[in-house]
Amino acid sequence: MRKINTRNFRLATRQTQREVNRRIVLNLIREYQPISRAELARRMSVRRGAVTLLVRELLESGVVHETGPAAVVRGRRPTMLSVRTSGSLVAAADVRPAKTYLALADVGGRIVARQSIDTPESPERLPDLLAEGFQQLLVQHGSGDVVDQCVALGLVVPGMIDRKTGRLIYAPRLGWRDVELRREVSERLGLKVYIESAPIACAMARLWLSPDETRGVNSFAYVHISDGVGVGMVLNGEAVRGETHSAGEFGHVTLDWNGPECVCGRRGCWEALTCNSTTIARYVAGATGERKSGNGKVTPSPAALTIGEVVRRAKRGERAAVDAIVEAGRDIGRGLSLVVGAFNPGRIYVGGEITAAWELLEEPVRLALADGAITREARATPVFPDGSPAEYRLQGAVALVTAPTFAAHSVG
């Protein structure tokens, strides 16, 4: 049961019931497309006539379209329905400490053009750089102006966001604090802007762009391991943000008081133990004894290495690289046990470049999670790697734009 929030509510009107039912129909089409009107009625346990008018309204709005008759063995061939993904572009931006990745995508998350720009040291420069970057992308794509071609911008940042105001509260990796980012970017681009933290955006991509994977579970966690560490939590189909917008900041929970210093100023945070730079440093420390790797090549300095290179070396069997990945896996699993204990999700997705070595990560992750969990059921929490971690922050940006069309109608 959900308590009505008497400080923030919307009154039901005579149109509320129809809007709720229309959203139900739209989401059934999204999850089971292509689908016929008869199948919609069956899934809703209503007569077909009750569905017909709702479908007509969705067709007239353009969000749904008919994809043609289905192939059947005998009888009348039903006309199938699907959500329309073409015809509109979404601008997506993923801000990271060194690079900001820009993309144009359809509303289904399919990326049609992309490029990267250097992330500015000052957030005040970001709006101009985004405007220039997206205009260049549209020229490459053969389209016109940003305002004319894009329905909105989804903006993903590695920090805490006040969702109501769009204010960036704090991004430790960027060194940005208290920035009115949404308003500034919106005014410069002339687009509506949806802004969110990276881990929540990744969770939103799972929730809204991968309905087949999340249909069976309404509560899950997305753990993003990259430059930093963050957790996006979805409870009963809704992202958890907390009273002051800092829910999911497990990355700055201390696991080892004697561990390395974190960017937040404390020591031994989960982020400090598992972020990409730590894994690279562990690899270098393990390889410096002989200064040559197993294949005879000189081990580069940390500045010349990427986590992708460490993963590739681990897959080739280089001992120092394998050890660094396995140690990271143990620390990832220790942190996951905190997530399970605090949130008890139905499943956990782990994303980030390091998951390309999942065959090496999986066992230490699961063992450490089991060691830190209390109950048998908690120890058995399913953990899955993200199949395309490089895409999900951008797809999360797309999901920020598309989700309001499908989200449950809010009253009370």
Domain residue spans in the chain? 16-83, 89-206+394-406, 212-389
Residue 289 pLDDT more than 70? no
Q: Is 373 exposed, middle or buried (0-12, 13-18, 19+ CB in 10 A)?
A: buried
pLDDT tens across 369-398, in order?
Answer: 999 999 999 999 999 998 776 688 999 999
Which value, to the nearest 10 degrees, does the dihedral of the CA atoms of residues 207, 190, 98, 200 take?
-20
Q: So what's the pLDDT on residue 412? A: 54
pLDDT tens across 145-171, in order?
Answer: 777 788 999 999 999 999 889 999 999
Give the span between the Cα atoms of 9 and 320, in whole angstroms.
56
Answer yes or no: same fold for 89-206+394-406 and 212-389: yes
Give the span between the Cα atoms of 128 and 55, in whole angstroms.
42
Q: In what order do the strands lie in the sheet with 229-235?
A: 238-239, 229-235, 220-225, 347-351, 383-385
**Mode of pairing for the β-strands spanning 220-225 and 347-351:** parallel
Residue 194 pLDDT more than 80? yes
Q: Which residue is listed with tokens 């990744």?
A: 202
Instruction: Give the residue from 210, 196, 198 showing the smallest Cα distance to 384.
Output: 210
pLDDT tens across 230-246, in order?
Answer: 999 999 888 898 888 88
DSSP symbols for 326-377: HHHHHHHHHHHHHHHHHH--SEEEEESGGGGGHHHHHHHHHHHHHHH-SSHH
Find out whether 43 and 29 touch, Cβ atoms under 8 Å: no
Quickly state the pLDDT bin for 75 (edges 50, 70, 90): low
Element (H, E) at 300: none
Which value, to the nearest 10 degrees, does the dihedral of the CA atoms of residues 362, 366, 368, 369 take?
130
The whole-model pTM stands at: 0.87
Determine what percent of the chain is predicted with pLDDT higher than 70. Answer: 92
Residue 108 pLDDT more than 90? no
- Fold designation for 212-389: Nucleotidyltransferase; domain 5 (3.30.420)
Q: What is the CATH number of domain 16-83?
A: 1.10.10.10
pLDDT tens across 302-352, in order?
Answer: 567 899 999 999 999 999 999 999 999 999 999 999 999 999 999 999 999
Quickly state the pLDDT bin for 118 (edges 50, 70, 90): very high
Options 3.40.50.300, 3.30.420.40, 3.40.50.720, 3.50.50.60; CATH for 89-206+394-406 is 3.30.420.40
Q: How many other C-beta atoms lie within 10 A of the C-beta of residue 44?
A: 16
Per DSSP, what are the bridge partners of residue 105? 90, 111
DSSP 155: E
Query: 213 vs 90, 218, 377, CA distance in Å?
Result: 23, 10, 21
DSSP 122: S
Amino acid identity, residue 124?
E
